[in-house]
Structure 1
Amino acid sequence: MTGELSPIDKAKFVAARRAADFVEDGMKVGLGTGSTAAWLVRCLGEMVREDGLRFRGVPTSTRTAELAREVGIEVISLDEAKWLDLTIDGADEFDAELNLIKGGGGALLQEKIVATASDQMIVIADAAKEVARLGAFPLPVEVIPFGWQTSQALIEELLISMDVMGRNSSLRMNGDAPFVTDEGNHILDLHLGRIGDARQLAMILNQVPGVVENGLFVDICDKVVIGYADGRVETRDINEGTVTEDRLDFVESENLFRDL
């Protein structure tokens, strides 16, 4: 089965497989959203079914919740969990300080709430997600539908004084209609090119009326697990200042790959 995967999917798979080892019996775990996080959910589901792993998952989107239930993971809400031992999620970009851009999948609000309600956040990614400076990936900003054009104009005005390369933004669409998040909001994608001060920009964006949250995750991620197509996995711990490397063998599993 794994021979049919693209190199990038192999990289995502080994990162997810390695990160799944951080989940222990009895934990309450935030489950991210997106293609890499979906690999994690499948891996954890296999561990539940075949190894007897018992933990409770708090999904960051309706589609993650559906997949988690499908593979046999016990799903609870964040209100039920109150606090999490660990959140594992993907990222659209990460830098050397493990600051992130997230929200390409449209779930940034729940992702940020869940990640900040955790003792630890681990990001799983392929090597292409690492950048010297954030900003090449469009920065998602979740806004309420009422007056979204006003919020957009205010955002573009404040960007004039920010250390960014571009100031254009666009309303994310789903076909002919605006994309709608799980909370019923819209997303503006900011095409910045380069972000000079992610911390400052994150704080200022959230002061704009109508902005619910932005996709800059600053000082939230503790570890990043980077997968490579040849099975190599690199784990960086920002708190310990350590980098470890190992290699995972691809394991055939009809259960894990049946949906591909």
Structure 2
Amino acid sequence: MSSELSPIDKAKFVAAKQATQYVEDGMKVGLGTGSTAAWLVKCLGEMVENDGLKIRGVPTSSRTAELARDVGIEVISLDEAKWLDLTIDGADEFDGNLNLIKGGGGALLQEKIVATASDQMVVIADAAKSVETLGAFPLPIEVIPFGWQTTKMLVEETLIGMDVLGRTVSLRMNGDAPYYTDEGNHILDLHLNRIGHARQLSLVINQIPGVVENGLFIDICDVVVIGHGDGRVEVRDINEGTVEESRFDIIEKDNLFADLSD
């Protein structure tokens, strides 16, 4: 298999590599879900193998748990950890205030629980995920299967009073069958195009019976690490109010990264 990485994969890799600098020996670390987070897990696994890094990881999905074990990271549950030093995860969108849309990978509930049980949340993303206003990416909400069509109707009615441009709601599918999360729930994707008041929408959506959680992460992310295809990395820290830039020389490795894809 060729080791040549696409620009988007290079961007994800350098963001993940930069984010490993936040990880210290002995930490309990939340491990996100999705293609960008998979790069992080691989990078941390390399540090465990080559540098003797000792961490305990709390995965946000069964997929991430399997990958973490495969690369030698000790995996524990959130109940065992109780509280985390750090969570590193990807995002489907982020705005200038580091508010996020997450859940494209179907793990938003565990991701939000883990992120809010951490001293710090670091998001890794390629530059295409940066937006002025959230909403171009469909907003996922996790709903219980019982009465999901009624829940969908209530969501559609609620959106009429919200500051959004679109109101189409679709059930996420896995082939010909509904998609199921790790908790056995469904996901409704809200095609809103633009979200005028994300905080208000998050609060209102979560009041609808049948809704478990939504994919808006408001005031949770502390730092976003943005990768570019040419190796540049931008780090935005919302608490410090700083923006720093650096660059990685990318050395591509067949054995470590060729098996990762979107």
Question: Per the shorter chain, which TM-score range?
Answer: over 0.9
Distance in 2 (CA, whole Å) between partners of 1:133 and 1:18 is 26
CA contact (8 A) 2:171 2:186 kept: yes
The share of aligned pairs that are identical, in percent, is 80
- 1:64-95 CA-to-partner distances (Å, cap 9, x unmatched) read 00000000000000000000000000000000
Does the Cα contact within 8 Å between 2:5 and 2:252 map onto a contact in 1?
no
TM-score (norm 1): 0.98
For residues 92 and 253 of structure 2, the distance between their equivalents in structure 1, rounded to whole angstroms, comes to 27
Unaligned stretches of 5+ residues in structure 2: none
Distance 1:119 1:47 in 2: 22
Q: SS of the residue aligned with 1:21? A: helix
Report the counterpart of residue 57 of structure 2 in structure 1: 57
Deviations 1:3-36 (A, max 9, x none): 5111100000000000011100000000000000
Counterpart for residue 77 of structure 1: 77
Conserved in 1, the CA contact under 8 Å of 2:231 and 2:247?
yes
Q: Does 1:171 align with 2:174?
A: no
State how 1:194-209 maps to structure 2 within 5 Å. 194-209=194-209
List gaps (5 residues or longer) in structure 1.
none
Q: Secondary structure at the match of 2:207?
A: coil
Q: Paired residue for 2:156? A: 156
2:213 aligns to what SS in structure 1?
Answer: strand
Structure 1 equivalent of residue 20 of structure 2: 20
State yes or no: 1:114 paired with 2:114: yes
Aligned residues: 260
| 2:256 counterpart residue number | 256
Dislocated runs of 4+, deviation >3 Å: 252-255
Q: In structure 2, the residue corresponding to 1:230 is in which secondary structure?
A: coil
Give yes or no for contact 2:102–2:215 (8 Å, CA) kept in 1. Answer: yes
- Amino acid of the structure 2 residue aligned with 1:6: S
The residue type equivalent to 1:124 in the other structure is I
SS at match of 2:160: helix
Q: Give the structure 2 partner of residue 6 of structure 1.
A: 6
Residue aligning to 1:48? 48
For 2:142, give the aligned amino acid: E
Q: 1:257 Cα deviation (Å)?
A: 1.9
Q: Which amino acid aligns with 1:49?
A: E
CA RMSD of the aligned region, Å? 1.1
Distance 1:2 1:164 in 2: 44
* Residue deviations 1:193-241 (CA, integer Å, cap 9, x gap): 1000000000010000000000000000000000000100000000000
Task: Tell me how far apart the structure 2 counterparts of residues 49 and 227 of structure 1 sit (CA, whole Å).
Answer: 25
Structure 2 length normalisation: TM-score? 0.97
Q: CA deviation at 1:258?
A: 4.7
Task: State the secondary structure of the residue aligned to 1:4.
Answer: coil
Offset of residue 255 of structure 1: 3.7
Shift of residue 249, structure 1, vs aligned partner:
1.1
- Aligned residue for 1:137? 137
Query: What CA distance in whole angstroms lies between the structure 2 residues aligned with 1:159 and 1:74?
Result: 43
